[in-house]
Structure 1
């Protein structure tokens, strides 16, 4: 409820600012149209007139872009001069409509406040009239507030239609993103293979070599007590090798993710961490397998990095969903200064990008470090 009220206030302010810019946009469109009409058949003159016209148009559009972002409408921009002028030629109508909606809302709120004040603090001679006026004003306020959201959404759609990239440009951008994410996935797979090889070589393989040497010495030993001691050491090495092999297998892919779901897998990450991890789970159902896998590795890698490098005393993991976006947020109270371009976080960014997601790293020196992954899901 509080978030809805805050968003409504931001949209109302945006509509008021948009209504104010009509005083600049409307004269600009009229004067620009007259100027361009006068030099319509003169190419050189048309170019000279277009330069200052487009300079002002870009300034107005940049103001509109900041205003729309303030209201929560954030999208890619890619427009030419013609589409920019078309947008300004139409936008002032929505500016006036927004001003009317806000005025109606303020009028309704004022009348409701007046009616409630009169009813509470004065003697009402005609209570039915005051009640009818208050109810009508309350209804007007309700409709006006709904209209605030409607006009703001309509203005965002108008801006996206005229100022957003064309279908052809959007397809080219999409193809470039897919090519980049595919290359990133291949690189991430190769990095993961190298890491697995390094873990096996430096850990399990060394344990098995030591185990073989101990067994060989036990076989060759002529002292029974010494042979028993060597066998005891070999048994300890075999148990350690098995533990490390399980660790490697867990890092490759945890079976609990398929058997019990993402929540159980993240709870296991929290239990295995050397630093206390508090998990907040706000989903009503498990996400699909591909999304759950990426979310798991984001949390696992972020927790591992925090334990190794940040000297954190506590880590918080929050899994939430906003519409079709799964949000995974990991925050630690460590030293901060994490390098977003480092191999670990860069590999996570490539994993997230493969699902058309977005990874943000906020790690000022002194902390805290916050890693947020936003993953599209059905």
Structure 2
């Protein structure tokens, strides 16, 4: 509810600013059209007129883009001067309509406040009229608030149509992203295989070699006491080898993820961490297997990196969902300076990119380090 209220306030402010910009955009469009019409048959004069028109159009379009971003509209831009002028020539009508919507909402809120105050603190001679006025104002306020969100969506669609990349450019960008993510997946799989091989070679294999040597020495021993001691050491080595094998299997894929779900798997990560981890899990239902797997590995690896390199004494993990997007946030209070292009974080970025998600690292010197990821989960 708080997030919806905050977004509504931002959209209302954006619509008010957009309505105010009509006072600049409409005269600009009218004067620009008149000036270009006067020099239409004169190429040199047309170029002279286009220079200031282009500069002002760019300025006004960038102002509209920042206003839309403030309201929460998030999409890529790829416009030229001609498309910017077309956008400004159409947008002023939406600006006026948005201003009318906001004024209607303010009028409804004012009448509702007046009716409430009059009902509670004044003697009313015509209570039925006041009640009817209040109900009408509430209805107007409700419709106006709904229209605020509708106008914001309409403005974002208009800007995306005129200022967003063309269909061909969007297809090119998408193909490049898919090619990059596919290469990233292949590289991530190879890195994972190398890591598993290294864990098995440096850990489990060494334990098993030591175990075989101890058993061989126990078979050759003449002294019973010596044999018992060697068997005890062999038993300890087998126990440690089994523990390390379980660790490798857990890092490959935790069975608890399938058996008990994402929340339990993340709680296990927090319990196994050498640094205290505060988990804020806000999902009402379990995401699908692919999203849950990427979520688990991103959080697990991020926590492991923080424990190894950040010198932090606490880590906060947040998992939240808004609409069709899963938001992950891992923050530690360490010294910062994490390299987003390092092998660990770069591998996480590739995992997220393979799911068509977004991955960001903010780690200023002195900390804190904050890792965020957005995963689509329709």
With the shorter chain as reference, the TM-score category is over 0.9
Secondary structure of the 1:299 match is helix
- 1:290 corresponds in structure 2 to 290
The 5 A counterparts of 1:298-337 are 298-337=298-337
- 2:13 corresponds in structure 1 to 13
* Structure 1 unaligned regions, length at least 5: none
Distance between the aligned counterparts of 2:130 and 2:344, measured in 1? 67
Moved more, 324-333 or 246-255: 324-333
Q: Does 2:357 correspond to 1:357? A: yes
Secondary structure of the 1:372 match is strand
Deviation at residue 280 of structure 1 after TM alignment:
2.8
Q: Does 2:130 correspond to 1:130? A: yes
Distance between the aligned counterparts of 2:231 and 2:119, measured in 1? 93
Moved more, 348-357 or 93-102: 93-102
CA offsets, 1:51-93, max 9 Å, x none?
2211111100100011011111111001122211111000000
- 1:92 corresponds in structure 2 to 92
Distance between the aligned counterparts of 1:212 and 1:195, measured in 2? 25
Distance between the aligned counterparts of 2:221 and 2:201, measured in 1? 29
Distance between the aligned counterparts of 1:9 and 1:272, measured in 2? 43
The 5 A counterparts of 1:119-158 are 119-158=119-158
Deviation at residue 305 of structure 1 after TM alignment:
1.4
- 1:82 corresponds in structure 2 to 82
Secondary structure of the 1:151 match is helix
| Count of matched residue pairs | 378
TM-score (normalised: structure 1) = 0.95
Deviation at residue 32 of structure 1 after TM alignment:
1.0
Deviation at residue 251 of structure 1 after TM alignment:
0.7
Distance between the aligned counterparts of 1:230 and 1:106, measured in 2? 85
Deviation at residue 111 of structure 1 after TM alignment:
2.1
The 5 A counterparts of 1:26-175 are 26-175=26-175
Secondary structure of the 1:278 match is strand
Deviation at residue 313 of structure 1 after TM alignment:
2.8
Distance between the aligned counterparts of 1:183 and 1:284, measured in 2? 34
Deviation at residue 153 of structure 1 after TM alignment:
1.2
- 2:194 corresponds in structure 1 to 194
Moved more, 81-90 or 264-273: 264-273
* Structure 2 unaligned regions, length at least 5: none
TM-score (normalised: structure 2) = 0.95
- 2:242 corresponds in structure 1 to 242
Deviation at residue 133 of structure 1 after TM alignment:
2.1
Deviation at residue 278 of structure 1 after TM alignment:
3.0
Distance between the aligned counterparts of 1:251 and 1:332, measured in 2? 22
Deviation at residue 271 of structure 1 after TM alignment:
2.3
Hey, which bits of structure 1, 4+ residues long, moved more than 4 A? Answer: none
Distance between the aligned counterparts of 2:189 and 2:227, measured in 1? 44
Distance between the aligned counterparts of 2:107 and 2:183, measured in 1? 58
Distance between the aligned counterparts of 2:377 and 2:366, measured in 1? 34
Distance between the aligned counterparts of 2:117 and 2:321, measured in 1? 42
- 2:270 corresponds in structure 1 to 270
- 2:252 corresponds in structure 1 to 252
Deviation at residue 129 of structure 1 after TM alignment:
2.2
